[in-house]
C-alpha cells in the first residue's frame, strides 16, 4: 500500500494463528512478540515514514498542527476513560407491566435489574461524544491531538457510519475515523486495532469508542430478549509509548460464522416502492429493513462459557502470565452466570471481577468501556493493574486482551 506522499509505509508486525499453539482450535490471531529495546534503538532512524504531503490548508481552514514524521514499533498504553448513559432507567418491575415476567425471574437468570434506554432527543452519537470528551479529559489530551477515532458500534445513527460525526463534534480536527462492527466484541476488536495502528502506523493518540443502542432493535413483547439489552457509550484513549512499556501484554481474537444463526438481527425486505418495473423481474430491489434481535439463549450461553475462558487463556499464554497475575477480570456484561462461570474456570475470586450488569444490562460494544470507566473512577482499577478483558457476541465473534492500565 502506498501513502499519499508516494512512500510505502512500513508493514505492521505479522500476526500468527492461535491454531499454532493448540491443534484443533479454530484459528484466531495473536500478536507477534514485542520488539526489543535494542532492536528498536538500532532501527529507529530507518523506521520512519512521511505523513501526507498534501497541504493541510487545502483540507482545513483551521491550519492544524504541522505533521511530524511517524515512528513505528511503539507500544501502547491506556491513559483515559469515559462513559455516558441515557437518562431513562427501565427496571425489571417496569418490564413486568407489559411482558409476562418479574424482577425475581429476570435477576435469577441474568443478574440484571435495570437498564438505560434512549428517549426524547437523546442519540447514540450524543452519548458517544460525551464519553469521548470525558476520556480525553482524564487523559489530559486535547481533541486536536487525536490521530484516529475508532467507533465500535452495530447501531450507528447513520447507516453509513458514525465515526466522522463523533470526531467532528468532539473537535478531533486532525483525526481520521471509521466504524468497526463486531457487535458485543466490538470494543475489544477496536482496542486491539488501535494498538496495531500505533505499532505499525506510527500514530500517537487513538480514541476508541464503544457504543450501542440495541433497544431500537428489541422486540419489547419478547421476554427472552427485551429483558437483556440497554443503551450506553464508553471510550478509552490509547497512547503510544516505548515498546518496553507496552500495556497490551497479549491478545487473541476469533470468529465462527457457523454460529450466526444463534444470534442475529437480519435484514428483511418490504414491498417494492415502484409499481411499474417495465417487466424486469426482481427489479427494483425491495426496500430493506432490519428485524428485531433473535437469539438462541441456550446456545449462546454454551458458546460463551466454553470459548471465553479459552480465549483468555490463550491471551495469557501469549503474555507469558499465569491467571493468578490478573488483578481484574472484565468481561462483556451479558449475563452474570456467564461472568461467574468464566471466573470459576480461571480460578479468579469474585472480588477481582468487575461487574455493573445489574445496573445497565447488556450494552453490547459499550459494556466493557462503561464498566472499566466506573471501576477507574471508583478507585478500583489503579495504575499498573493488569486486566483480563474479553468480549463475545454476534457473528459469532469473541476476543480477549490482557492489558495494563495506565
Residue 308: which H helix or E strand, with range? helix 297-319
Domain for residue 390, yes or no?
Answer: yes
Task: Give me the chain's average pLDDT, please.
Answer: 84
Mind telling me the catalytic residues? Answer: 184, 332, 362
The answer, yes or no, to whether residue 2 has pLDDT greater than 90, is no
The answer, yes or no, to whether residue 353 has pLDDT greater than 60, is yes
Question: In the chain, how many domains are there?
Answer: 1
Give the mean model confidence (pLDDT) for residues 97-114.
Answer: 95
Domain for residue 12, yes or no?
Answer: no
**Contact (CB, 8 A) for 391 and 187:** yes
Domain for residue 280, yes or no?
Answer: no
Domain for residue 18, yes or no?
Answer: no
The answer, yes or no, to whether residue 337 has pLDDT greater than 80, is yes
The answer, yes or no, to whether residue 190 has pLDDT greater than 50, is yes
Task: Look at residue 340 and give its three-state secondary structure.
Answer: helix
Higher-pLDDT residue of 93 and 28 is 93
The answer, yes or no, to whether residue 390 has pLDDT greater than 70, is yes
Q: How many CB atoms lie within 10 A of CB 94?
A: 14
**Contact (CB, 8 A) for 186 and 176:** no
Phi, psi of 330 (to 5 degrees): -125, 100
The answer, yes or no, to whether residue 21 has pLDDT greater than 50, is no
Phi, psi of 19 (to 5 degrees): -65, -25
The answer, yes or no, to whether residue 17 has pLDDT greater than 50, is no
At 300, the pLDDT band (50, 70, 90 cuts) reads: confident
Share of the chain above pLDDT 90, in %: 66
Antiparallel, parallel or unpaired: β 75-84 and 231-241 = antiparallel
Phi, psi of 262 (to 5 degrees): -85, -20
CA distances from 205 to 124, 241, 270, 283 (A): 23, 10, 44, 47
Domain for residue 108, yes or no?
Answer: yes
Phi, psi of 390 (to 5 degrees): -145, 135
The partner residues of 294 in beta bridges, in order of sequence, read 264
Give the mean model confidence (pLDDT) for residues 338-356.
Answer: 96
**Contact (CB, 8 A) for 95 and 227:** yes
**Contact (CB, 8 A) for 240 and 378:** no
Domain for residue 363, yes or no?
Answer: yes
**Contact (CB, 8 A) for 30 and 249:** no
Quote the CA–CA distance of 335 and 111 in Å, as a whole number: 6
What's CA 289's distance to the chain center, in Å?
Answer: 25
At 26, the pLDDT band (50, 70, 90 cuts) reads: very low
Q: How many CB atoms lie within 10 A of CB 277?
A: 11
Residue 299: what pLDDT? 86
Residue 289: what pLDDT? 72
**Contact (CB, 8 A) for 131 and 84:** yes
Model confidence pLDDT, tens digit, residues 106-120: 999 999 999 999 999
Q: In the chain, what is the greatest distance between 2 CA atoms, to the nearest angstrom?
A: 71
Residue with cell 454460529: 259
Residue 27: what pLDDT? 43
Residue 95: which H helix or E strand, with range? helix 92-95
Domain for residue 381, yes or no?
Answer: yes
Higher-pLDDT residue of 257 and 353 is 353
CATH of the domain at 247: 3.40.47.10
Model confidence pLDDT, tens digit, residues 29-80: 455 455 555 555 544 444 434 344 444 444 444 545 555 667 888 999 999 9
Helix-strand-coil split of the chain, %, nearest 5: 35, 25, 40
Helices 124-139, 367-377: axis angle to 10 degrees equals: 40
Give the mean model confidence (pLDDT) for residues 184-188.
Answer: 96
Residue 264: what pLDDT? 65
The answer, yes or no, to whether residue 140 has pLDDT greater than 80, is yes
Supply the pTM of this predicted model. Answer: 0.81
Quote the CA–CA distance of 226 and 212 in Å, as a whole number: 15
Model confidence pLDDT, tens digit, residues 246-293: 999 999 999 988 877 777 677 666 655 555 555 666 666 666 677 777
Domain for residue 204, yes or no?
Answer: yes
Residue 49: what pLDDT? 41
Task: Look at residue 77 and give its three-state secondary structure.
Answer: strand
Residue 166: what pLDDT? 97
Tell me the residue range of the domain where 207 lies: 72-257+292-403
Quote the CA–CA distance of 217 and 226 in Å, as a whole number: 9
Residue 281: what pLDDT? 66
Residue 171: what pLDDT? 98
Amino acid at each position: 500500500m502506498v501513502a499519499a506522499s508516494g512512500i510505502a509505509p512500513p508493514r505492521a508486525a505479522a500476526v500468527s494463528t492461535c491454531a499454532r499453539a493448540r491443534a484443533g482450535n479454530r484459528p484466531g490471531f495473536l500478536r507477534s512478540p514485542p520488539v526489543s529495546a535494542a532492536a528498536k534503538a538500532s532501527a529507529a532512524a530507518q523506521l520512519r515514514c512521511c505523513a501526507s504531503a498534501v497541504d493541510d490548508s487545502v483540507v482545513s481552514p483551521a491550519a492544524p498542527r504541522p505533521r511530524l514524521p511517524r515512528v513505528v514499533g511503539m507500544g501502547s498504553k491506556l491513559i483515559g476513560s469515559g462513559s455516558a448513559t441515557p437518562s431513562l432507567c427501565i427496571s425489571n418491575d417496569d418490564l413486568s407491566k407489559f411482558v409476562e415476567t418479574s424482577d425475581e425471574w429476570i435477576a435469577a437468570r441474568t443478574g440484571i435489574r435495570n437498564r438505560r434506554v434512549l428517549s426524547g432527543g437523546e442519540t447514540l452519537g450524543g452519548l458517544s461524544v460525551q464519553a469521548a470528551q470525558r476520556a480525553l479529559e482524564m487523559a489530559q489530551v486535547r481533541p486536536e491531538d487525536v490521530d484516529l477515532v475508532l467507533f465500535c458500534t452495530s447501531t450507528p445513527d447513520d447507516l453509513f457510519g458514525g465515526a466522522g460525526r463523533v470526531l467532528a463534534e468532539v473537535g478531533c480536527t486532525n483525526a481520521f475515523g471509521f466504524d468497526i462492527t463486531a457487535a458485543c466484541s466490538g470494543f475489544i476488536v477496536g482496542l486491539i486495532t488501535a494498538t496495531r495502528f500505533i505499532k505499525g502506523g506510527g500514530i500517537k493518540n487513538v480514541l476508541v469508542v464503544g457504543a450501542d443502542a440495541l433497544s431500537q432493535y428489541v422486540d419489547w413483547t419478547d421476554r427472552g430478549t427485551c429483558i437483556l439489552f440497554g443503551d450506553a457509550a464508553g471510550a478509552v484513549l490509547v497512547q503510544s509509548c516505548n515498546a518496553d512499556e507496552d500495556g497490551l501484554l497479549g491478545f487473541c481474537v476469533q470468529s465462527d460464522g457457523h454460529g450466526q444463526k444463534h444470534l442475529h438481527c437480519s435484514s428483511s425486505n418490504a414491498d417494492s416502492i415502484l409499481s411499474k418495473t417495465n417487466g424486469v423481474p426482481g427489479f427494483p430491489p425491495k426496500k430493506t429493513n432490519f428485524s428485531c434481535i433473535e437469539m438462541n439463549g441456550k446456545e449462546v450461553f454454551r458458546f460463551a462459557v466454553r470459548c471465553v475462558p479459552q480465549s483468555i487463556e490463550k491471551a495469557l499464554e501469549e503474555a507469558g502470565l499465569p491467571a493468578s497475575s490478573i488483578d481484574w477480570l472484565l468481561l462483556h456484561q451479558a449475563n452474570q452466570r456467564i461472568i461467574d462461570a468464566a471466573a470459576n474456570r480461571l480460578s479468579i475470586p469474585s472480588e477481582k471481577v468487575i461487574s455493573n450488569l445489574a445496573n445497565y444490562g447488556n450494552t453490547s460494544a459499550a459494556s466493557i468501556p462503561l464498566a472499566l470507566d466506573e471501576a477507574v473512577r471508583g478507585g478500583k482499577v489503579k495504575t499498573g493493574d493488569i486486566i483480563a478483558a474479553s468480549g463475545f457476541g454476534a457473528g459469532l465473534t469473541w476476543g480477549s486482551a490482557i492489558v495494563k492500565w495506565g
